[in-house]
Amino acid sequence: MVKKVLKWAGIVAGAAVLAVVGFILWLTITEYRPAAIEDIVDVKDSGAEHILAVGDSFTVLTQNTGYAGLGKDSDFFMDGGRDVKPSKDQVNTNVVGLGAQIEDQSPDVCLLQEVDDLSDRTYNTNQRAFYFSTISDSANGPCTDAYALNYCCNFVPYPLPPIGKVRSGLQTISVFPVEKAQRVALPCPFSWPVSTANLKRCLLVSRVPLEGSDKELVLVNLHLEAYDGGEGKAAQTKVLADLLTAEYEKGNYVIAGGDFNQTFPGALDAFPIQDPSLWTPGVLEADILPEGWQFACDLSVPSCRLLNHPYDPDPSGNQFYVIDGFILSPNVRLDSVETIDRQFQYTDHNPVSARVTLEP
C-alpha cells in the first residue's frame, strides 16, 4: 500500500514538474522579442492638418493612464498593496474619465503611457482606439496616432490570481502630421525566465516635419523601469540621453516626456520619502544632459502617488512623488509647465502640461 501511494505521489510530482517546465518553455518560445529599432507601420491619421513651423508655440501633455486600473480606490500588490486586477466597472469608469480629462485640456501633443490594448487585466478594452477617437473629436480637431508595445505577454502567471494576457504600451497623439514613428528598444534588466513575462521597455519616437525647414520636431514618449534595483533605470536613461543629444546635434527640436520613474532635481525636498522600505523612485541627476538642456516639471503638485493603499483625501496620508515631466532641447523654450491636480481620481498619476515654443 505504501509503495503504491509513493508511486502515485511520484507520478503526480513528476507531472507537476513537467507542466511547469512546459509552461516556462511555452513562455520562452512565445516571448515578445522586438528588434532594436522598429518602424511603426500602423500610424493612424484622422486627417491631421495643423502644420508646425519654427517660431510656433503649442502645448504638450504627458499622462500615465495606469491602464485605467489604478484609480483613487485602488492599491497595487507591487507597491505594498493587495490588488491585482481592477473590476470591469472600475476600468470602464477610469477610461471614460481619463478621456474626458484629456479632452478638457485639449493638448496639441499628448504622450500617454500604460495604454492597454486588449489585455485580460482590463477586460479586453481597446483603450488606444478610445483615446485616439476622443482626442481627435476634441476642439483641436483631427490627429495622428502612434502606438508602441512595451508589455506584451500571452500569460503573466503571477501573482495569484494571475494577471493573464497583457498588451500595453505608449501612445502619442498629435494634431500635427507625423512623418515617421519608431519603436526604440531600451535595455532590459531582467534575465530569463523572469524576462519572458516582464516588460520590454522602449521609447516611442515620432517625427513631425517643420514647414519651410529641413529640421524636425522629435517627440520622445517614454516610461522607464520601475521595479528594478536601479541599474535598469540608469542604463535606460543613458540610452535616452544619447538619443536626445544625437537628434539635437542634427539640428532638430527635441521634446522627451513621460513617466521617468525617477524624481526630478529638488522633488525629494518637496515630497520626501516617508518609508524607505516601500517603493522608492530613482533620482534624475541635473548633469545627465549637456548645458542648455532643461527639465520641465512642476514641483508644487505631485505627479504620482504610491499605491500601498487607496487614495487618502488627507494629503498627509499618501506618499507622493514628482516623476512625470519633460526634457527639452536648448532650442525649445519652456513658456509654462503645470501638473494638473486631478486628485488621482482615475489613475495614480496626475497629468503634466507644458507650453513650449520652437525658437528660431
Q: Are residues 163 and 309 in the same domain?
A: yes
Terminal C-alpha separation, the chain = 89
CATH number of the domain bearing residue 214: 3.60.10.10
Task: Give the residue numbers spanning the domain of 14.
Answer: 1-30
**Least trusted range by pLDDT, from 18-27, 98-107, 214-223, 266-275:** 18-27
Say whether both 204 and 191 belong to one domain: yes
- Name the DSSP class of 117: B
Residue 159: asked if its preceding bond is cis (omega within 30°), the reply is: yes
Say yes or no: 21 and 155 in one domain: no
Same-domain status, 21 and 43 = no
Q: What cell numbers appear for 292 in the block?
A: 542648455
Residues 9 and 106 in one domain: no
**Angle CA 178–182–188, to nearest 5:** 145
Peptide bond into 193 cis (omega under 30): yes
Burial of 350 (0-12, 13-18, 19+ CB in 10 A): buried
Q: Are residues 171 and 82 in the same domain?
A: yes
The verdict on 139 and 85 lying in the same domain is: yes
Are 141 and 208 in the same domain? Answer: yes
Write out the E strands in 93-250: 109-116, 144-156, 164-174, 180-185, 202-211, 216-223
Do 24 and 119 lie in a common domain?
A: no
Output the CA angle 268-269-273, nearest 5 degrees.
Answer: 45
Check pLDDT > 60 for residue 9.
no
If one counts the domains in the chain, the total is 2
For residue 12, pLDDT beyond 60: no
- Segment 269-283, tens digit of pLDDT: 999 999 999 999 999
Query: pTM for the whole thing?
Result: 0.95
- Do 182 and 256 share a domain, yes or no? yes
Do 131 and 23 lie in one domain? The reply is: no
Contact 91, 68 (CB under 8 A): yes
